[in-house]
Amino acid sequence: MGQFRMLTAGESHGKGLTMIIEGLPAGLPLSEADIEPDLARRQGGYGRGGRMKIEKDHAEIMGGVRHGKTLGSPVALWVQNRDWVNWTVKMAVEPVEAEVERVTRVRPGHADLPGALKYGFDDVRNVLERASARETAARVAVGAVAKRLLAEFGVVFHSHTLAIGGVTAAVPDQVDWDAVEADSVRCADPASGEAMVAAINAAKPDGDTVGGEVEVRVDGVPLGLGSYVHWDRKLDGRIAQAICSINAFKGVDFGSGFRGAAQRGSHVHDVILPRERWGGRPWPHATNNHGGIEGGMSTGETIVVRAAVKPIPTLAHPLPSVDLETGEEVLAHYERSDVCVVPAAGVVAEAMIAIVLADAWLEKFAGDTLAELRAAYDWHVQSLWPRGAV
């Protein structure tokens, strides 16, 4: 059972999304304004659909905070669905007299078919409403709260787009993160960003979608989060599970990842530098090919996570499929959708990594109050230095 736990509830076209967060220490400054920027970042990016023009996501704090600080009790958040007004009959909580058309045409690549068969539904809407990527708004809100906790200790998150539709960015050694946030596809390479936009534009008239790859970097994580002693405590394993739990994410690696697998070990493993080259922190490495995690534990280097995002399965020109009720061939169901979600996917990936790191942080630096966490953190950081090294 984790230290930082969250539950979300709600459907894509229901009244809204509810989040419960447990494990935050008392005394953490927290406001709705802390959550707002990431919710706005999730709604941006070139290639998004009509839903983003309807919603303006705002997380309301419903409990667990008083006079701007957490109480140590669960924090409750609420995000309203503005589109609910158009779905009050189809998504009503109580039984309705009106006849509501069932969705029986399943979409290849979606949760539709296995979900309907698993739960015994004759209406795929019961599946698609919860399996929708709308739920990631809840994750981003919770992730923003996790980031707020970690920001107290100097942890910083960034993400950017590595590829869209077969176009791969030439990422500079020094990324201008302000420029990334201002770019329509959140790409660090302007020329590649323009080509990515062109790839999205080429797919749209064909009624098609495009996927890609994102990268998340986290700075300021100290050595020692996670553990090597059990499979479910390894930090990279926990992050991989969190990333693959996001809609449309189908692959994850750390640091040089799959590229490193093609090289010899002498070119991959990160050499630990001698004491005379330490500078401001102990035990630095000459390279960071392992992405800041070794043996399931953070090394103190930047955590680098890359993830593959498949093209979303709701196509304006639907693929052949089958009818859930008859088994006969039909065209897949279509509702309003995006052409590309990759720019926003990086923001969601940030959120899930923040949730994992907050959990690992509270596990390592346990305490009921922020002051207790800070004391435990300060002691740990100081303990990393050998005697006489400072």
Give the start-to-end residue ranges of the domains of the chain. 5-383
- Mean pLDDT in consecutive groups of 10 residues from the start of the chain, 390 residues: 88 96 98 97 83 78 98 98 94 94 93 96 96 96 98 98 97 96 96 96 94 98 97 97 96 94 94 91 95 98 98 89 94 86 97 98 96 97 80
What is the CATH code for 5-383? 3.60.150.10
Closest CA to 129 of 102, 98, 94, 99: 102
* Burial 34-69, CB ≥16 within 10 A → b, else e: bbeebbebbbebbbbbebeeebebebebeebbeeee
Q: In the prediction, which pLDDT does 36 show?
A: 97
Three-state SS annotation for the chain: CCCCEEEEECCCCCCEEEEEEECCCECCECCHHHHHHHHHHHCCCCCCCCHHHHCCCCEEEEECEECCEECCCCEEEEEECHHHHHCCCCCCCCCCCCCCCCCCECCCCCCHHHHHHHHCCCCCHHHHHHHCHHHHHHHHHHHHHHHHHHHCCCCEEEEEEEEECCEECCCCCCCCHHHHHHCCCCECCHHHHHHHHHHHHHHHHHCCCCCEEEEEEEECCCCCCECCCCHHHCHHHHHHHHHHCCCCEEEEEECCHHHHCCCCHHHHCCCECCHHHCCCCCCCECCCCCCCEECCEECCCCEEEEEEECCCCCCCCCCEEEECCCCCEEECCCCCCCCCCHHHHHHHHHHHHHHHHHHHHHHHCCCCEHHHHHHHHHHHHHHCCCCCCC
Q: In degrees rounded to 5, what are phi and psi of residue 376?
A: -65, -40
Q: In the prediction, which pLDDT does 53 show?
A: 61
Q: In the prediction, which pLDDT does 11 show?
A: 96
Q: In the prediction, which pLDDT does 1 show?
A: 46
Residues 6+ apart with CB under 8 A from 235: 225, 226, 227, 293, 296, 297, 298, 356, 360
Q: Global pTM?
A: 0.95
Closest CA to 269 of 283, 251, 288, 246: 288
Q: In the prediction, which pLDDT does 389 show?
A: 53
